[in-house]
A and B are shown apart, each in its own frame.
Chain A
């Protein structure tokens, strides 16, 4: 298995942290660490993905550089997480896409956009693309519904499959020695922790978003992105029901459920992503890992572009710009789906796995509950 410099460094850091334990109030990483005396590669993968990068420990650390022990837990774990993303990626050869991820994502976005635009302009007459469309089926006059559904299902379906296999690989590696089964209680607690970003609260007082001061900005911006994404997904689901069950054909009125959900989601995504991008620029770079910055920025920019073009499409859907905007928006969406399992998005999958692991290993044992020996 891996014995990279990062793994060796993560083990050194954990062994020092485990002898100190001053940070145990910050997040789940430290109580999980305290359950161990030795740190296998699998333990380190688990702990690194349990870390939410709140950076509280980094500013509180009496051994932070320039101290000779030179501890930088958030950076070490960020670097290790990047390694675990490659290790668990499926299929294995595509793990290479995580290297120089910013460049990879940029190329995929450019290519997806080019393909959608070329196909649209190649297959549709300019009078259709740049014409005015109103009433039911306006969008589908430019890009056929069947094609949209087919491409969306294939790419998103593939992304879900790849993410699921990644989750399984992560779980098999890190939870092999878990004493308790990860039952529904563990899942309920982990989903609750994830939904509330409980570990991005710095022990309840906020994180070190920018510097030594505490704030909850990053947590709220992440909420805006996550719930924005969920809202957009919900909008799509509702629209699917409208179309296939109720026979109501898009575009829908401004105050319809899909449009309102999409609008709120788009705004959440836009505010959250732009906010996090600004935070990345203004914050103290010391506790961060430069190597992962490309992937972080790539996903944020992708989501921001999807959201911005979606909102723009809504605003101008009755104008002659609709056709071109629809193609551009769908180009960005296609790119997002394509790189979903090979970019920063995977952090959510492995972090959820780590939270389930944490919930399972810290749960009080109940009588009659299955215990794996």
Chain B
């Protein structure tokens, strides 16, 4: 077992992508590094385990990326999804640093592949990790071990003790024992608080009990809370989280990608009372999938059902859970424990308002309802071909936006505007600086990689002076 009593220049709190990038960067800069990961080895890596790609600026096609993706286009994409809730200087720093990061990653064992399939077409903007995020983490952990980073699993950072903007000591709990460590610099890369249901309840009330957490159960936000309580300046809307609709049969935590459901544009979605509540065909699915978690969170009991028929079955990616099927709507209602009469009425009304059109699942087609509220604007087809199929849906929480403010050297900024001398942040715990709201595929990994490297290098520089 790793000796916590040893003396280290830099302590890294967390074990995901940002933490590993920080630990490797600090060690390569000559610092001795202790990495403290809350999860056991088998579940190491935080939400990075579930990631798949990395959004990267590039001027010309590469082995795994097509065409080009310039800084300004990248920035425009970010500004659009965040609605301006971003810090342009930090955002442009991240975007510009993403290009050289690709070679840095490859040099540390990360392997890339051309993007092949999936619902989002990202081959131009995103580099895909061969095997996904866990393969990336395996590569980083191996490099970190080889470099001599000391890694402690099953150990949680409980308290980073700040005094006048200086991290004086770090309290680590492991095997029921609490150890206080003094290191020259601290990098916090311990994620958001999306797995902390009690904390989510502060904003969502009892509804949060019905949320499913798509990623790691270890993202409790303990370090984030600890720093905010000690005067670190918050960024990002604390009430907001990235929430998508996932299969209600998914486990409470860590279901990851396979619980995703892309059936909504080709279905109608009803709540517990068998009533529709939102336009399922408002826009192309990649632009709309991230609003459905919130929509379902606002429904009674936070449950909804996507209902469609045999015509739609092959239009979306399969999920790991089988469709619930029935020969009649009544039977389907019975299987879903919905009121059969109400569901029948909802379907009759919907079917009666579907206008004829030319169905095309690839574009915003002209299949829509007329006179229905809420309307279904595209891909509206009569649901009339047995077997009828349904999927139960619940809000699936990916990440939270609340974080600590940092400067361009990844130093944590305090409420009084001063910068912490030896405290650095990287990854989800500071992503709110740049992604204050919305979502851009693969950008979380970019922020984690770029700021992980900066935090690690700066922490090492501080420790060695």
Contact = CB atoms under 8 A, between A and B. Distances in A.
Contact of B132 (A22, A31, A34): A22
Interface in B236-280: 251, 254, 256-260
B130 A62 contact: no
Nearest to B128: A25
A31 B116 contact: yes
Interface string B399-415: 00000000000000000
Interface of chain A, helix or strand or loop or mixed?
loop
B111 interface: yes
A23 B132 CA distance: 7
A63 B259 CA distance: 12
Contacts of A37: 314, 318
Contacts of A20: 132, 256-258, 320
Which residue of B42, B50, B320 has the most chain A CB atoms within 10 A of its CB atom?
B320
A20 B314 CA distance: 16
Interface stretch (A52-60, A327-335, A358-366): A52-60
Interface residues of A, number: 31
A26 B131 contact: yes
A212 interface: yes
A19 B258 contact: yes
B134 interface: yes
Given A25-B128, A68-B251, A62 B134 contact: yes
A60 B43 CA distance: 12
A60 B138 contact: yes
A346 interface: no
Contact of B317 (A19, A57, A60, A203): A19
Contacts of A19: 257-260, 317-320
A16 B320 contact: yes
Contacts of B52: 22
A24 B116 contact: yes
A66 B42 contact: yes
Nearest to A25: B113
Contacts of A21: 116-118
Contacts of A127: none
Given A59-B135, A60-B134, A203 B113 contact: yes
Interface in B133-160: 133-135, 138, 141-142
Interface string B31-71: 00000000000110000011010000000000000000000
B257 A205 contact: no
A9 interface: no
B148 to A, nearest CB: 17
B138 A62 contact: no
Contacts of A69: 258, 320
A62 B133 contact: yes
Contacts of B130: 25-26, 60, 203, 205
A62 B42 CA distance: 9
A61 interface: yes
Given A25-B113, A25-B131, A60-B138, A18 B254 contact: no
A369 to B, nearest CB: 24
Most central of A20, A22, A67 by chain B CB within 10 Å: A22
A34 B138 contact: no
Interface in A312-328: none
B111 A203 contact: yes
Interface in A324-362: none
A59 B139 CA distance: 11
Interface string A5-27: 00000000001101111111110
Identify which of A25, A59, A61 gathers the most chain B CB atoms within 10 Å of its CB: A25
Nearest to B45: A62
B125 to A, nearest CB: 18
Contacts of A59: 131, 134-135, 138
Given A25-B131, A26-B131, A60-B131, A212 B317 contact: no
A367 interface: no
A113 to B, nearest CB: 46
A22 B258 CA distance: 10
Nearest to A12: B320
Contacts of A63: 256, 258
A60 B256 contact: no
Nearest to B319: A19
Nearest to B257: A20
Given A19-B318, A22-B52, A34-B117, A60 B132 contact: yes
A26 B116 CA distance: 12
A15 to B, nearest CB: 6
- Most A C-beta atoms less than 10 A away, residue of B259, B260, B317: B317
Nearest to A26: B131
A37 B141 CA distance: 35
A213 B251 contact: no
List of 9 A-B pairs having minimum Cβ-Cβ separation, nearest first: A60-B131, A25-B113, A22-B132, A19-B258, A60-B135, A19-B320, A16-B320, A212-B138, A25-B130
Interface of A: 15-16, 18-26, 31, 34, 37, 56-57, 59-69, 203, 205, 212-213
Given A19-B260, A60-B138, 20 more contacts: A19-B259, A20-B257, A22-B133, A22-B257, A24-B113, A25-B114, A25-B128, A34-B117, A56-B131, A56-B135, A59-B131, A59-B135, A60-B130, A60-B134, A60-B135, A61-B134, A63-B258, A69-B258, A212-B141, A213-B142
Interface of B: 42-43, 49-50, 52, 111, 113-114, 116-118, 128, 130-135, 138, 141-142, 251, 254, 256-260, 314, 317-320, 322
18 contacts: A16-B320, A18-B318, A19-B260, A19-B320, A22-B52, A24-B116, A25-B130, A56-B135, A60-B135, A61-B134, A62-B254, A66-B43, A68-B251, A69-B320, A205-B130, A212-B138, A212-B142, A213-B142
